[in-house]
Each structure stands twice: as structure tokens, then as C-alpha cells.
Amino acid sequence: MTSNGDLSNYTCTLSSDVIEQAKTELNEDPATRHIEIKNLKSRLEKYPGLQPRTDVKFLLRFLRARKFDQEKTFELVKNYYKTRQQYPEIFDDIKPSRVRSVLENGSIEFPGSTDNNGCAIIIFRPGLWDFDQVTYIDIVRALYLLLSKVMEDENFQVKGVQFLDILTGFTMKHASHVTPSFVKSFMQVLQDVLPLRLKSFVFFKEPAFFDLVFSLMKPFIKEKLTKRFVFNGPKVEKLHAIIDRKSLPTDFGGELPILGNKAWLDDLFASDAQFEEENKFGFVQMNVNKGKSVSKSGDADMQGLGGTFKKLNI
């Protein structure tokens, strides 16, 4: 296990325009960036029981996600590791090869394009979820892995991420699997685990019963983020005012083939070793509901922490 915190290894890849945006929106000052990283690294290394990654690229993602507020960033990193510990059924041995079927069927996709403001576009097609073959845990894993890879790009750390959800084919059978456990873990990954700037969730072609589904989701969504949910019904053309058709898949009225970003997806599948290394970091391990079985719906009991501490095998 390595954790290279040498600041001399970092070279900023941002253009001058994006550096200015980071200054204005994220309070990032290139002159003091190294001091901010050093202070966060020092504090994390002193936290009892935590063996964190402390390399510059990793810590910088979290600082940007919390606008270089040291206290909020510190809490986000702790949350990142606490959540990974709390939900072993999701995070134990998490790597792309374990969720290949979810990532290859188009239900979640990074097309490699951006909106007109440079935000990364993430596509959701929940109508393609096949719960005879996968559990909600597989879907949350795929979400985590895909977004982790996307957020390696410094531009997206500054510009943020926009989610586009098209609900063609989303039936009551799919909705029956949107359990509180599913929604809680899904939203926790987005809001409290990954270092993301969440810009918006835009929905299209919602079925008539989707209001009921969203009412189940809403208690798990922070108020600030709730205001960024947009429901457009069948009017996909509304999207073309903020995203060029050349940047959208065909089912959004665009010109990109579905799952057309094969090179990026192949790179994700080739990164198992990277995620295996990431899995070595964290808090001392606890036995957290490890005896619970997961049904086809994936609705395992995830209440509380139990067991005894033991050191990670690293």
C-alpha cells in the first residue's frame, strides 16, 4: 500500500480559464494550494484509527468539492471512509470487473461529453435495470466506480457533474425495487461519499407513477440538492438549449451512439488494480452486518454497526 503525499509530484492540468473559475467558485488559490493540501494531510494522518490516502490528487478532489473549507473537507474524507466501512456489502472488494454487466448494458453511462458549461454528463437509464440478474447493490457499486473514474479529471472537479435520467421502460416492477435501502445508499454515495459538485438531476419521460417514486426518494435528498431536480416529461428538446445535440446520445435527441464511449469504458474495466489498491485504505475494519444475506432485491438490513475492531489486512 502506498500513499504518496509528495506535493512535488503534482502538476495542475487546468487551463487558465478554469483556474480562474476555481478561484472564484471554489476559493482555490494556486499560491496556497500546497499549504491547504499539507494541512488536510496532516490532520487526516493524526485521526485515530484512520489509514487514509494522502496523495495530492486524491486530497485535492475533496478540497474542491468543499470549496477549500478545511473543516467541511475533513468531514467529507471521514465520511468517505466511514461509509465504505459501514456498508461492506457494497464496498468490500469493489472493482469494475464485478459490475461489468451493469456498466455494459447502458443503464449508467459516461458518454465522454459535457454540457455547454463544461459539466460532465452522466446518463441514467433505469428502465434497463434487470433485477432478475442484478441487485441494487450492483447498481450502487457501478455508480460509485464510474463516478470515481470521471472525477479523476480535474476539469470535472471544478466544473461539476450533470445527471440526465431518461425513464423510458421504467415500470412498476422497477419501482418496486426502489426501496429505502436502495435510495439511502444511492444518495449517500452522491451526497456524502464521493467528492462531487452536483449541478443538476434532469428527468425525461417520467411515467405517471413517478411522483410516488420521487416521494420515497425525497427524504434522503438534502434540501439544497432537491432544488436541482428538474422534471421535463416528454420534452427532451428542452435539453438542447443547454447541451449541444452532438454531445447527447440518440435517445436524448442527440447524435452520439448509446455506449459509444467504448475506449473510456475499456479503460475503466482495465483499472481493477487501481481500485484494489484504493480498497486497502480506510479505518480499522469492523464486522458490519457481514452475516446479512442480500436478496434479489438487494434489500439487506443496514442498520447500525456491530462487531469488533481488527486491523485491515494490507
pLDDT the model gives residue 239: 86
Question: Which ranges of the chain have pLDDT less than 70?
Answer: 1-8, 285-314
CA distance 185 to 129: 17
pLDDT the model gives residue 282: 96
Question: Is-contact 78 51, C-beta < 8 A?
Answer: no
pLDDT the model gives residue 6: 62
From the list 298, 275, 283, the residue with the least C-alpha distance to 146 is 275
pLDDT the model gives residue 299: 43
Look-up: residue for cell 494522518? Answer: 45
CA distance 244 to 222: 30
Any alpha helices (H) in 87-189, and if so which ranges? Answer: 88-91, 100-104, 136-150, 154-159, 172-175, 180-188
Neighbours of 49 (CB within 10 A): 11
pLDDT the model gives residue 5: 55
pLDDT in tens, 80-138: 999 999 999 999 999 999 999 999 999 999 999 999 999 999 999 999 999 999 999 99
What value, to the nearest 5°, has the Cα angle with vertex 161 and ends 275 and 9? 50
Three-state DSSP state, 13: coil
pLDDT the model gives residue 296: 43
Q: Which amino acid belongs to residue 56?
A: V
Task: Give the residues across from 124 on adjacent strands.
Answer: 108, 165
pLDDT in tens, 223-249: 999 999 999 888 888 888 889 999 999
Instruction: Give the three cell numbers for residue 108.
Output: 449508467
Instruction: Give the three cell numbers for residue 147.
Output: 463516478
CA distance 250 to 165: 14
Residue ranges of domains in the chain, CATH in brackets: 1-86 (1.10.8), 96-269 (3.40.525.10)
pTM attached to this predicted model = 0.87
